Amino acid sequence: MQNEQRKLAAIMFTDMVGYSAMIQKNESLALALLKKQEELLHPIFQKYGGDEVKKTGDGYLVEYASALEAVNCAVEIQRTLHEYHSATEHETQFQIRIGIHIGDVVHRDGDVFGDGVNIAARVEPLAAAGGICITEDVFHQIQNRNEFKVVRLGKGQLKNINFPIGLYIIILPWDKKYSTSFARASFYFHKKKKLLLLVVFILLAIIISLLWKDRNTKIKLGDEKSIAVLPFKNLSVDVGNEYFSDGITEDIIAQLSKMSSVKVISRTSVMQYKNTNKNIRTIGEELGVTTILEGSIRREGNNIRIVAQLIDAGKDKHLWAETYDAKLENIFSIQSDVAQKIGIALRAQLSSDERVRIEKVATKNLEAYNEYLKGKYFWNIRNEESIRKSVTYFERAIQLDSSFAQAYTGLANAYIVLGDWGYTPSNTAYPIAKSAAMKALSLDSLSGEAHAVFAMVHFDYDWDWIEAEKEFLRAIELNPSYATAHQWYAEFLSHMKRYDDALREIRIAQQLDPLSLIVSTIEAYVHYYGRDYEKTIMQCKKTLEMNPNSYPSYFYLYLAYRQLGLYEEAVAARKIMIPDEGGSDEDIQTLEQSFRSKGSNGIIEWEYNFQTERAKKTFVDPYAFAILLARQNKVEEALDFLEKDFEIHSRYCVFLNMSPDLDNLRSHPRFIELMIKVGFLK
């Protein structure tokens, strides 16, 4: 039986530049230089704890316990060679390339295998002569801990590697000839196929540009195809019908969002103009649209009157208006008619599928629809009490009409929020959300909202990254104006450490929902987990300008200040959050005293004690304790809590891949085992 051991390791490949040509030209000199390389490199490998797994002709495969040790070793190697060159004749000089990756490796019978080895081997040839090329995974490990400048090359597809790899170069101060542009050229146009690959790359760039242009036309459009639906005024005698007018507004937004060629502003932003005194032109400018739909609803028993007006926001000119006097059972045909007439007014091209989806009747049971609208009303308030109340209404709607797909989607969304925000344990909330989402899709496979919530289940609970991304992309394809789908997809991409892609998606969400606090905060989230703490702080401050009571913004301010060592600022942000978590003035005073007496350690100790007290009254996820213990370098205790997280199938397990608070655990065998179980490592 083979002796096999799996672990996370930093792998370095080195290669002597031009050795094959050298040995053909002067074999004795080549062999002498090979021996000199061995004399120079071996002591440096040993100094940094490198394990020389094997010699690869004129190079080495060396394993390190940490990425930082591997990078420091590589820098010293290149420094040593630079000093050697300055003291020797040109004929006896040689250069080497170095590539480094950190990943999963398997030791078997004295050799090492796995993606960690394969990727490092592909990265090494992309380094310039005398240079060092590292992967994105290595960069995140050494960020803020390395004295030399690191420059991002971008992402590329390496030979026999199934996914794109982010690459960086380390700029060595003594190498005046080395340039970022040369490195990028090396990255894209390597070795003998430079000219062919250059042509291919240019063609690909043109194609990708056209494809992205086509994709983004579904979001960023000409002025004539953008619209905001202002909250319809409730003119009913019964003020309790407010949920009904808000619900109709939201349903019309949903109908318009099915048109891929129209940019539609999301509910969150338009609802901020309820009962506003602002003029149409100002609203159009603030939301970035040139057409506005406004209207009113009067309901008396089973009779309704809906007045709708489409207005050119720039000219304050009416483009179309209609008054509908009808029975309540005709509400769906009215919504469909409004959407289609707006499409005609905007000269939007509707596909046959889009027309079918717009004309589809959600339910024939008016009582079920009424309960559904109440559920949406309370779901949009977004606190624990209102979300739980929305569940009751969605369940009633389902009881009244078991074929009502939107009610199942509403129920799934409610449980996603309950699980995501920690109101309900993940292993309780997500199975219910999954079941409801699957039922919604079985009834309406073309619901973008249902595909989005199913994607979140795959992401947060199933830990099935491939299916999650498929569902996110399908949701966006079906409903390109659904800001929440873009927001959730951005979160997913952050957890996959695809931060540039995540920023692209969250900025699309911002175009569609420019006044949404949560969308604005998720940009800070992307910056934070991408380790750009300054931009995190800037974005949080932008969000707080929109609403100074945004709890999530203070949360990411707190985390970013803590990472930068700005502890006074961190304490100031943390104090503001305490009342929202059920804390008291005494808790605020205790935090201040703990910080004054013990500094940064006092903040962590206070946080641990505060969360312990909260856990006596409400559910607190084990992850909250794990990151605090990790920051105190209490590794085994932190891992105990992370393993508890896995046992309860907590959604916070998805943070294992990218949380900076866990970086000091990443080489530990127990952490690696968790990464394998959750699916981040194989």
Distance from C-alpha of 206 to C-alpha of 586, rounded to nearest angstrom: 61
Tell me: do 162 and 92 sit in the same domain: yes
Q: What is the pLDDT of residue 493?
A: 95
Evaluate whether residue 410 is within a structural domain: no
Tell me: do 273 and 137 sit in the same domain: no
**pLDDT tens column, 409-454:** 999 999 998 988 878 888 899 999 999 999 999 999 988 999 999 9
Please state, as a whole number, how many other Cβ atoms lie within 10 Å of the Cβ of residue 571: 22
Distance from C-alpha of 283 to C-alpha of 270, rounded to nearest angstrom: 9
Q: What is the pLDDT of residue 182?
A: 40
Name the strand (E) or helix (H) holding 229: strand 226-229
CATH number at residue 246: 3.40.50.10610
Distance from C-alpha of 345 to C-alpha of 357, rounded to nearest angstrom: 19
State the pLDDT confidence band at 3, using cuts at 50, 70 and 90: low
Name the maximum alpha-carbon separation found in the chain.
100
Evaluate whether residue 27 is within a structural domain: yes
**What type of residue sits at position 573?**
A
Reference 453, options 497, 522, 496, 407; nearest CA is: 407
Judge whether residue 643 has pLDDT over 90: yes
Tell me: do 109 and 27 sit in the same domain: yes
End position of a domain, from candidates 299, 330, 361: 361
Evaluate whether residue 670 is within a structural domain: no
* b/e 114-144 (16+ beta carbons within 10 angstroms → b): bbbbbbbbbbbbbbbbbbbbbbbbbbbbbee
Distance from C-alpha of 667 to C-alpha of 12, rounded to nearest angstrom: 16
Mean pLDDT of 355-376: 83
Q: What is the pLDDT of residue 239?
A: 61
**pLDDT tens column, 257-299:** 778 778 888 877 888 888 777 888 888 888 888 888 888 888 8
Distance from C-alpha of 498 to C-alpha of 336, rounded to nearest angstrom: 39
Tell me: do 158 and 307 sit in the same domain: no
Highest mean pLDDT among 114-118, 232-236, 255-259, 463-467: 463-467
Distance from C-alpha of 362 to C-alpha of 400, rounded to nearest angstrom: 13
End position of a domain, from candidates 145, 178, 211: 178
Q: Which single residue is written with the structure tokens 């309960």?
A: 371
Tell me: do 167 and 19 sit in the same domain: yes
**What type of residue sits at position 139?**
F
State the pLDDT confidence band at 490, using cuts at 50, 70 and 90: very high
CATH number at residue 109: 3.30.70.1230
Q: What is the pLDDT of residue 178?
A: 44
Distance from C-alpha of 96 to C-alpha of 291, rounded to nearest angstrom: 62
* DSSP 8-state code for residue 271: G
End-to-end C-alpha distance for the chain, whole angstroms: 21
**pLDDT tens column, 214-241:** 444 333 333 457 888 888 888 876 766 6
User: Are 572 and 591 within 8 A, CB to CB?
Assistant: no
Q: At what angle do helices 533-546 and 517-529 cross, to 10 degrees?
A: 170
Residue 43 neighbours by CB under 8 Å, 6+ apart: none
**Across the chain, what does the average pLDDT equal?**
83
Degrees to nearest 5, angle at CA 283 with 282 and 284: 90
* pTM for the whole structure: 0.63
Transcribe 132-167 into DSSP letters.
EEEEHHHHHHHTTS-SSEEEEEEEEPPTT-SS-EEE
Evaluate whether residue 519 is within a structural domain: no
Q: What is the pLDDT of residue 151?
A: 79
Distances (CA, A) of 317 to 226, 280, 284, 371, 553: 15, 10, 13, 37, 39
Tell me: do 44 and 104 sit in the same domain: yes
Evaluate whether residue 342 is within a structural domain: yes
**What type of residue sits at position 328?**
L
Residue 194 neighbours by CB under 8 Å, 6+ apart: none
Judge whether residue 111 has pLDDT over 90: no
68, burial (CB in 10 Å: exposed 0-12, middle 13-18, buried 19+): middle
Distance from C-alpha of 167 to C-alpha of 184, rounded to nearest angstrom: 10
Distances (CA, A) of 178 to 83, 150, 182, 464: 17, 13, 7, 42
Distance from C-alpha of 633 to C-alpha of 431, rounded to nearest angstrom: 34
Residue 511 vs residue 237, higher pLDDT: 511
Please state, as a whole number, how many other Cβ atoms lie within 10 Å of the Cβ of residue 487: 26
Tell me: do 235 and 160 sit in the same domain: no
Degrees to nearest 5, angle at CA 66 with 62 and 67: 80
Transcribe 364-429 into DSSP letters.
S-HHHHHHHHHHHHHHTT-SHHHHHHHHHHHHHHHHH-TT-HHHHHHHHHHHHHHHHTTSS-HHHH
Tell me: do 20 and 144 sit in the same domain: yes
Q: What is the pLDDT of residue 248?
A: 80
486, burial (CB in 10 Å: exposed 0-12, middle 13-18, buried 19+): buried
Tell me: do 173 and 245 sit in the same domain: no
User: Are 479 and 448 within 8 A, CB to CB?
Assistant: yes
Evaluate whether residue 88 is within a structural domain: yes
Reference 183, options 150, 148, 208, 144; nearest CA is: 150
Tell me: do 161 and 293 sit in the same domain: no
* DSSP 8-state code for residue 291: E
User: Are 306 and 295 within 8 A, CB to CB?
Assistant: yes
End position of a domain, from candidates 124, 143, 178: 178
Instruction: Supply 296's token pair.
Output: 């009113």
**pLDDT tens column, 321-350:** 888 887 877 777 877 787 787 777 777 776
User: Are 307 and 295 within 8 A, CB to CB?
Assistant: yes
Alpha helices in 530-678 (DSSP H): 533-546, 551-563, 567-577, 585-598, 600-615, 622-631, 635-647, 669-678
Distances (CA, A) of 202 to 165, 205, 209, 346: 20, 5, 10, 36
Residue 92 vs residue 458, higher pLDDT: 458
Q: What is the Cα gyration radius of the chain?
A: 29
Tell me: do 120 and 63 sit in the same domain: yes
Total number of domains in the chain:
2
Evaluate whether residue 487 is within a structural domain: no
Range of the domain at 92: 4-178
Q: What is the pLDDT of residue 192?
A: 39
Measured torsion, CA atoms of residues 96, 102, 104, 105, in degrees rounded to the nearest 10: 30
Tell me: do 135 and 229 sit in the same domain: no
User: Are 261 and 347 within 8 A, CB to CB?
Assistant: no
Distance from C-alpha of 246 to C-alpha of 462, rounded to nearest angstrom: 34
Instruction: Supply 30's token pair.
Output: 């080549």
Mean pLDDT of 112-130: 82
Evaluate whether residue 266 is within a structural domain: yes
Q: What is the pLDDT of residue 2?
A: 52
User: Are 403 and 440 within 8 A, CB to CB?
Assistant: no
**What type of residue sits at position 248?**
I
Mean pLDDT of 638-650: 94
* DSSP 8-state code for residue 17: T
